[in-house]
Structure 1
Amino acid sequence: MASVGATSASHAALGPRVLAASWLQRRWYTPPSRRTWSKQHFRIRSPRPLLDRFDLSREQPHKEWWRERRIAPATFFGFPDVTKIGLQGGSLYVEQMDAVTLAVLADKCVQEKVWAPEIWMKFCWRAQQLSTRTHEPDLCYIFRAFARADWVDQNLLTTYLGRIHRRLHMFQLPDVAVVLEAFANPRFRQGEYLQKTLTHMALLLQHRDDAKVEDLARTCAALRDLRPQPAEVAEEVVAGLELLAEALLMRELSELGPARAVN
């Protein structure tokens, strides 16, 4: 019992010292960075005027893409993304592209409205290199991409019109529709080649019955955009529209997509 009393007496003697130490160690304020969680998160907190320093990467992080963690590499079809080549720089590696890749990338530039001359010059150079090894449908899509971009190069135009003439006998109705969409640009429309394309389309409609509704409607829309029409071609266009109408009457139009039906 004596030992217990001695221990309690010693604790009582040390009591004021312990209390004084704990009083000195107390933090009587909360640091500004720890008061609210929202102020710690730059994407949630709202900046205070004249107090917070302006940081562009915090206020508009989409304008500094290099600060964001990359979820996927900035490539498309295995090549540097043509839509970001102006920001990132570097080479497009056009010399390594085949006809399929060139057709897809050129069409992507048209859809994304990328009209940089240095890109289309390289595409034009590579398209002429691949002309003798290009077949349908890549041939048609490359020709249409340059027509929609309105990139007129006399060597390219002559080369691809000749290649289309050479491969025309192998074209199916979807290929003919793509070529007619390219001919919507008057600068790419040559009367002789347009007439031969319309003749081939008429032969396909007269002697084959395997065309899909989507392809028939697409061909009708392409013929509608051939304006202005020369007098010698107008009759063949009307005859082609009549053949397309007959083919559409014998098919179920419910297969037609909403966008194509509106057009």
Structure 2
Amino acid sequence: MDNTSTMETTAAPGLLAGKVAFVTGAGRGIGAAAARLFAREGARVLLAARTKAQLKAVTEEIRAAGGVAEHVVCDLADAASVRAAVDRAVELYGRLDVAFNNGATVTPPGPLEHVPEADFDHLYAVNLKGSWLAMAAEVAAIRATAGTGAIVNNSSVGSLRGNPELPAYGAMKRAVNSLTESAAVTYGPEGIRVNAIAPGSTLTEMIRTWEADSPGLLDRLTARTPLGRAADPEEVAEAAAWLLSDRASYVTGTVLRVDGGAWA
């Protein structure tokens, strides 16, 4: 007689099960990896970026894998576009629970005096003002629908100390850190957590662009990284997913380094 007992097992719910997630810069790199991951972890996702063809491709990929996703074209430098994109998440899914503000732009590496004024202004409009616009719209949507939730901003380890190769980019990301901390203090009493992640070198189109402008940049960054390699975008997305999830329920106002130990 077989005395082996059987036990029904139930798959653990996803990290973001039941949540509606909004992701900017979702057409490629860390943003696309995050959108895929959030959907696998049970979220209904709205992908936002300027790159319609890329958004469509990632959205279709998520759907093909069984996830729920839609996309919207959004220019982070345009206030009306940002508000409309966040409102679209509520129109589609009836609520907003979490948001990952990942979208950003770059300038070529070089010392401060070599940054054209137009490039500085564009960095400000997208990387700083765009984050501020998105956070304001997201807080309003979370407050009006889910009531409580979480926001994660994508910063950079380049914001944590002097940054001679990317001074303007680092300055904008440092300001994002300040906005993150201020928002955490402001909205924590309402149950809205706000954190940031600070990735190190990550294998995205952004760092490949920097490498083309400054040959050897990736090797220099890797040499300063104890883990001895750049991150895959998926590894950075995992940190954002955890901070957005209820498993990080007592974490707010932090800037979490995801840098392979480079800034240790």
Normalising by structure 1, we get a TM-score of: 0.27
More strand by share: 2
Flag the structure with larger Rg.
1
Q: Which has the higher contact order (CA 8 A, sep 6+)?
A: 2
More helix by share: 1
Normalising by structure 2, we get a TM-score of: 0.27
